[in-house]
Structures are given as structure tokens and as C-alpha cells.
């Protein structure tokens, strides 16, 4: 009798461990809610190539890479990239073979409107995305489409000073309208902007992305004002977002039945020490990164911390703009999450903001990957990105709690390798498998605890043009040989496929070698 009770207790305990610890039983797709989107992601400039082909206009990235090759680590550009423009059918085969039910990609604004609103619509550009979307849908895959993933017609820069000029808002609204009209019968997920927070920082604080504007101490550019311009650009992006959402909700949503949101780059921040100053600094870093965009969209104004520190450098919303923003909240929040870093307060004791880690400098915090010489997680090939899977659960919970439980899609998560690794290292990417498995485990834990998460996308399906890193790092589940454009599945592609197809891959990393 006693033995039977002990056995029953032991079984109950084992069951409790299995319920509480996803890692104890292996990751299982069935743990995710019904209808959960599992996908892969790309963006137009990073994969398409087909520079100026079929009537495409010059984009800001075309101009930047052609005139400033020193700004790209290997001096290269996206003229050809993965040649996805011509090989999209092959890429869709690959995507389909993984068993995903969604594909996230972006539209090149300059392919649709080569010179913006005044130049007219390029019908060949519409045709390309029409064919792409039709093929995606035909495979039973849900298209998840971003309108602005860092690229825009170069003419916007010359005519309006890019995102610094209020005139660009009408241009974006017009571009979004063309896309809703042309593709909205089949596209049910629209993201207005990809990472406007990261984009404005890199373009207008650090001057590393076009139009490469900045000022001391953040960088040395020909012109710019790192304390003010990022906030002006963001302001115009927020109002462009609101205008496009307003149009979609008023004129398309009822008939097309889709949803519209925005994608924000979100690190998780841990205080460097447990002092109140550093705890507040971690909170402030989140405000300057995440709430900068989401508070205006959900509550009509910028976070209090930003008003306090930025004073007159932070633009003001009129009362009509506030109500336009609030009336048109996002239907979902896209979370691009890769890493967690420590932050240290720079108000109580000044920091040297003259370093890359001063990325969050306007928030008067210093970001650093190390505490007492120990890294927060394993470093990756991407400067400042460490493997910290727990951060996934934290960031998703933060966003849900703060933004009224609005549905979250993890629109990007992925792991980078150096391109100059050996072929064997590139293909047998066990570290990427561990990364994805770890982050998904903490995502599933967040969901089990009640987080409202509806989808997850790996960045990226194929190696591609990694902005200022050029082709020196690789994020793909598939290796791309840029000489031949041959795509080859890495171990991680097989792992993702096995996970999605339902065979428990966690126990099988050894059998997944890319050459097996």
C-alpha cells in the first residue's frame, strides 16, 4: 500500500515537472495555441536584388550603398542579394517544405512608387508582389506583410529630407493605400513599420543607416543633430502609422477582414547592479526603446521619462493628433527580440557616452554586455547580441501587461554566424538550434502563464544582406552561396522542420547534421 502511494506520488511529481518545465519534456508545437502562426521572415532590400529592374526606383539603401561603401563592412550592396526577385518560387518551395503556416516579408516602396506619389504607380512592381502573394497563398501560407522595412524611395530623401519632413506622412499614407487596394484581398496581416525605433537611432543618432545624419558625441557625420532629429523622424513615422491605420480601419478592414499593427525592436534590459539607480535605468531604457512608440499609439503621448529628459527636443502632438493616434491603436504588436543586455545609470554618475554601447545614450543609460567581466550570455557574431533565452519571456510579459493584453507576434528572432566560419561550422549550426530552442521554450512558458502571443517568425529563411554588416554575417536557416545562389539547408532548417512537423527534435540534435 505504502509502496503504491509512494509510486503514485512519484508519478504526480514527475507529471508536475513535465507541466511546469517545457525543457524537461522537449519543445512541442502542440503546446502553442491553435491557429498560432509559425513562420520565417525576410525583407525586400535584404533579399530581392533586381536593382532598378522592371521600373523600380532608386531607394535610400541603393543610394547609400553606392555612394558610401565604407559604411558597409564588406563594401557590398543589395543590388543582387539573394536574387529573390527572380527566385521567389524556389524560395517559397523551401519555406513550404519547413511546414510553416506564415511568411513575413516586406514590400519595396520604390518598386511600387519609384518616385513617390507624384511619379505614379509602377505596374511591374505591383505584378511582382501580386505573383508572390498569390504563390504564398496558394501554398496555404499566410502572408504577413511589412510596408516599411528600412527602405524608401530615395526621392523621399531629396524632396522631404526623408522622415524629417512632415510631407512624407501623406506619401506613406498614399503608398499604404495602394498596397491595401492591390493586395488586401489576400493579405490579412499588415505591419506599417519594421523597427522604427532601431531605424531612427541608426539613421539619425549614430548616422550608420541612410541618410547617415548624426552629431557628437554619437558620431561624426556631415550634418545632423543626434539629440533632436531621431525624435522628429519618429514623430513623423508615428503620425504616418496613425494615418495608414486610420485609412485601413475606415476603408478596408470591414471588407478585407485583416488586422494592422507595428513591429518594434525590443531588447530586454537587466540592471547592471541592484541599486535603485540601475533598476530605474533599466526601466528608462525600455521606455526609450519600446514605449517611445507604443505609448503614443496606445495612450496618445510619449512616456513621462522621455518628456523629462528630452524636454524641447521631443516634438509635441496636437490634441487632434493625440486622438487620431488613440482612435487607431494597433491591432497587434510585433516584437523583434534577439537579446538582453545590462544597463547602468548615467544620471547619478556620468558615463563615457562616446562608445558603441552608448546606443541608449539619450536615455542616459549605458548598455553593456558584461558584469564583472562575465558576459550576460554567449556572444554571437552580431556585435552586442548575446544568447539570453529568458529575455523572451520577460519582454513578452512586459508588452502584454503594459499594452492592455494586445495580441503579440514575435515577428523576428534569430542567430547570426560569421560568414568566414568554415563550411562545416556554418552548416552544422548547433548553436543556432540551441538558440531557437531556448527562446521558443521561454516563449511557450510565457504563453502557458497567460501571455497573449499569436505567432513566431525566425529571422531568416536564407542568409542575406545584413545592412551595415553586408554579407559578413549569416542569419539564415538556409545557407546561400552568393556566387551560385545555391540554397542549402543548415542543421537548424532541419530542426525547425522537425519541430513544426511534430517529431520531437530536442532529443535529436545529433542526428540532424546538415550533411546527414
Binding site for ligand BGC (CB under 6 A): 43, 46, 194-195, 198, 265, 336, 412, 459, 466, 475
Task: Kindly tell me which of 46 and 77 has the beta carbon lying closer to ligand BGC.
Answer: 46
Taking the C-alpha atoms of residue 203 and residue 220, their distance in angstroms, rounded to an integer, is: 12
Of the listed 305, 412, 431, 466, which one is catalytic? 412
Task: Kindly tell me which of 252 and 409 has the beta carbon lying closer to ligand BGC.
Answer: 409
Grid coordinates belonging to 242: 496613425
Q: How do beta strands 340-345 and 332-336 pair? A: unpaired
Grid coordinates belonging to 258: 485583416
Contact indicator for 239, 169 with CB cutoff of 8 Å: yes
Report the nearest approach of ligand BGC to the CB of residue 470 (Å).
12
Task: Kindly tell me which of 56 and 337 has the beta carbon lying closer to ligand BGC.
Answer: 337
Report the nearest approach of ligand BGC to the CB of residue 45 (Å).
9
Grid coordinates belonging to 124: 511591374
Report the nearest approach of ligand BGC to the CB of residue 412 (Å).
6
Number of CB atoms found within 10 A of residue 295's CB:
19
CA angle 212/197/307 to nearest 5° reads 105
Of the listed 195, 289, 295, 321, which one is catalytic? 195
Report the nearest approach of ligand BGC to the CB of residue 246 (Å).
25
**Cβ-Cβ contacts under 8 Å for 423 (sequence gap 6 or more):** none
Cα separation values, 434 from 190, 428, 429, Å = 30, 12, 9
**Cβ-Cβ contacts under 8 Å for 393 (sequence gap 6 or more):** 442, 443, 445, 446, 449, 451
Is 308 assigned a catalytic role?
no
Is 390 assigned a catalytic role?
no
- DSSP-derived letter for residue 346 is S
Task: Kindly tell me which of 211 and 334 has the beta carbon lying closer to ligand BGC.
Answer: 334
Number of CB atoms found within 10 A of residue 402's CB:
17
Q: What are phi and psi of 468, to 5 degrees?
A: -70, -15
Task: Kindly tell me which of 252 and 332 has the beta carbon lying closer to ligand BGC.
Answer: 332
Task: Kindly tell me which of 135 and 335 has the beta carbon lying closer to ligand BGC.
Answer: 335
Number of H helices, E strands in the chain: 20, 19
Report the nearest approach of ligand BGC to the CB of residue 265 (Å).
5
Report the nearest approach of ligand BGC to the CB of residue 198 (Å).
5
Distance in Å from the first CA to the final CA of the chain: 51
Catalytic residue annotation = 195, 412
Amino acid at each position: 500500500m505504502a509502496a503504491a502511494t509512494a509510486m503514485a506520488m512519484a508519478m504526480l511529481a514527475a507529471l508536475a515537472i513535465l507541466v511546469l518545465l517545457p525543457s524537461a519534456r522537449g519543445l512541442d508545437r502542440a503546446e502553442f495555441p491553435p491557429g498560432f502562426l509559425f513562420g520565417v521572415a525576410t525583407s525586400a532590400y535584404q533579399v530581392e536584388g533586381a536593382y532598378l529592374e522592371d521600373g523600380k526606383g532608386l531607394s535610400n539603401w541603393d543610394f547609400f550603398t553606392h555612394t558610401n561603401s565604407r559604411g558597409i563592412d564588406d563594401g557590398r550592396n543589395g543590388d543582387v542579394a539573394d536574387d529573390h526577385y527572380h527566385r521567389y518560387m524556389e524560395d517559397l518551395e523551401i519555406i513550404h517544405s519547413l511546414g510553416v503556416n506564415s511568411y513575413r516579408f516586406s514590400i519595396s516602396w520604390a518598386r511600387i512608387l519609384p518616385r513617390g506619389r507624384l511619379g505614379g504607380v509602377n505596374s511591374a512592381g505591383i505584378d511582382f508582389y501580386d505573383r508572390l502573394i498569390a504563390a504564398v497563398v496558394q501554398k496555404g501560407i499566410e502572408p504577413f506583410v511589412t510596408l516599411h522595412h528600412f527602405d524608401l524611395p530615395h526621392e523621399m530623401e531629396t524632396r522631404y529630407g526623408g522622415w524629417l519632413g512632415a510631407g512624407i506622412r501623406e506619401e506613406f499614407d498614399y503608398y499604404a493605400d495602394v498596397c491595401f487596394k492591390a493586395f488586401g484581398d489576400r493579405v490579412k496581416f499588415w505591419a506599417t513599420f519594421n523597427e522604427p525605433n532601431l531605424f531612427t537611432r541608426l539613421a539619425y543618432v549614430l548616422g550608420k543607416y541612410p541618410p547617415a545624419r548624426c552629431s557628437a558625441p554619437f558620431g561624426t557625420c556631415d550634418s545632423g543633430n543626434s539629440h533632436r532629429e531621431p525624435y522628429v523622424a519618429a514623430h513623423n513615422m508615428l503620425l504616418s502609422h496613425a494615418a495608414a491605420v486610420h485609412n485601413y480601419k475606415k476603408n478596408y478592414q470591414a471588407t478585407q477582414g485583416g488586422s494592422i499593427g507595428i513591429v518594434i525592436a525590443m531588447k530586454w534590459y537587466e540592471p547592471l547592479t541592484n541599486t535603485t539607480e540601475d533598476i530605474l535605468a533599466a526601466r528608462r531604457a525600455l521606455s526609450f526603446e519600446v514605449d517611445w512608440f507604443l505609448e503614443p499609439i496606445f495612450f496618445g503621448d510619449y512616456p513621462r521619462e522621455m518628456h523629462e529628459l528630452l524636454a524641447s527636443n521631443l516634438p509635441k502632438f496636437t490634441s487632434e493628433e493625440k486622438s487620431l493616434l488613440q482612435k487607431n491603436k494597433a491591432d497587434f504588436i510585433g516584437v523583434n527580440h534577439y537579446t538582453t543586455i545590462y544597463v547602468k545609470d548615467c544620471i547619478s554618475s556620468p558615463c563615457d557616452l562616446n562608445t558603441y554601447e552608448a546606443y541608449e545614450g539619450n536615455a542616459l543609460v549605458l548598455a553593456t554586455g558584461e558584469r564583472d567581466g562575465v558576459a550576460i550570455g554567449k556572444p554571437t557574431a552580431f556585435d552586442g547580441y548575446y544568447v539570453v533565452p529568458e529575455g523572451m519571456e520577460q519582454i513578452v510579459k512586459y508588452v502584454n501587461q503594459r499594452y492592455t493584453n494586445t495580441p503579440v507576434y514575435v515577428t523576428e528572432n534569430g542567430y547570426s554566424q560569421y560568414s568566414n566560419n568554415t563550411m562545416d561550422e556554418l552548416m552544422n549550426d548547433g548553436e543556432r538550434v540551441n538558440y531557437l530552442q531556448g527562446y521558443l521554450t521561454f516563449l511557450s512558458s510565457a504563453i502557458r502563464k497567460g501571455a497573449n502571443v499569436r505567432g513566431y517568425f525566425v529571422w531568416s529563411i536564407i542568409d542575406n544582406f545584413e545592412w551595415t554588416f553586408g554579407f559578413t554575417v549569416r542569419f539564415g536557416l538556409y545557407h546561400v552561396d552568393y556566387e551560385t545562389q545555391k540554397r542549402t539547408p543548415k542543421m537548424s532548417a532541419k530542426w525547425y522542420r522537425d519541430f513544426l512537423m511534430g517529431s520531437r527534435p530536442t532529443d535529436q540534435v545529433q542526428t540532424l547534421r546538415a550533411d546527414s
